[in-house]
Amino acid sequence: MRNFVTILSLSFVWLIMLVLAVTVGSTPVSVSEILAVFLGKTDQAALAHVVISIRMPRAITATLAGAALGVAGLQMQTLLRNPLADPYVLGVTSGASLGVALVVLVSGGFTFGVFGASTGFVGSITVVLSATLGALVILIPTLIIASYLRNAGTVLIFGLMVGYAVSAFVTVLVAGASPDQLQRWTAWGFGSFSAVSWSDLPVFLSTICCGLGVAAISIKQLNATLLGEDYARSMGVNTRLTRLATMGSASLMAGAVTAYCGPIAFLGVAVPHLARAVTRTSDHAILVPVSALLGAQFALVAQLASLAPGQMGILPINAVTALVGAPIVIFVILRSRRGIAW
């Protein structure tokens, strides 16, 4: 009952944050004006354009991205049994960035998302697949190393080093880009929830839903994995299939978010710890939906905070998530030093 009330309360808070994300901006919009727009009872074309074409897609994108990264971070921490694991720290985001860079900077055939105008379904699918494959290229060797090494710190360092190496290669690609491509790449690296339009959302939504669906289906397997693969096998769990499904799900979500929104840091590592603190459980039947809701709220808060300068500009999402997420990561490290189980 307590967990049901928690999920219901978090859902209500998320709804409030979603409304705030639509009302807050360079031009404040009241809730009554938003209702008038959706009911078709306003003759202000500019207001309707701001609400429907700009703020609603941005709020939905932040919700989807936050939920995806929160659940992907939970999956990685469970799979590697490492409290600091997440798609960004383990280099998965760097791999996704490499996939995007190879398609956008090398081919130069089209622009996408924060790189420029959307190219429709085919362009969206191409970039999402390239980002997902790039994420898998990094995650697969990390998981292979994790299966041979019991030291979680070593696995984390391996993922970081591979991520740094891939980032260096991407930097080489960027160095040879045209000034226009370089400017767009820099903007993409800051992170943004504002570049996804209604035409992009169907692909983005379906991709995130697939990843979240796999996470929901594998809840029992993830719970068994918490106690080690030997225990999971003794319970009849196909550990190889579970690993592949979890790996593919996390890579798909991290790849899609990276392709559409840029490399969003800290959210994946911070949200699962917030979920455990709120629920005080390790049951993934509770942690998966709570991580999705908290991740969505975290992303919406970051989006709202990025608008703080007002007319003077917009803060990069990566800067905001780092400012909020870094204290949580520091807390996890200090708690681990005291030997407290996560």
The structure's pTM equals 0.85
Fold of 2-337: ABC transporter involved in vitamin B12 uptake, BtuC (1.10.3470)
Q: What is the mean pLDDT of residues 96-124?
A: 60
Residues in CB range of 245: below 8 A, 6 or more apart: 214, 217, 218, 221
Nearest of 277, 279, 296 to residue 6 by alpha carbon: 279
pLDDT of residue 16: 94
CA distance 319 to 316: 5
pLDDT of residue 341: 47
Q: Which of 33-42, 56-65, 183-192, 197-206 shows the highest mean pLDDT?
A: 56-65
Q: Which of 98-112, 118-132, 175-189 shows the highest mean pLDDT?
A: 175-189
Which band of pLDDT confidence, cut at 50, 70 and 90, is reported for residue 233?
A: confident
Q: What is the mean pLDDT of residues 54-68?
A: 94
Domains of the chain, residue spans: 2-337
Q: Reply yes or no on whether the pLDDT at 103 is more than 80.
A: no
Residues 19-37 pLDDT 10s: 999 998 777 888 888 888 8
Q: What percent of the chain has pLDDT over 70?
A: 87
Across 63-72, 124-133, 167-176, 327-336, least confident range: 327-336
* Angle formed by the axes of helices 120-148 and 152-175, nearest 10°: 140
Residues in CB range of 74: below 8 A, 6 or more apart: 215, 271, 272, 275, 284, 287, 288, 291
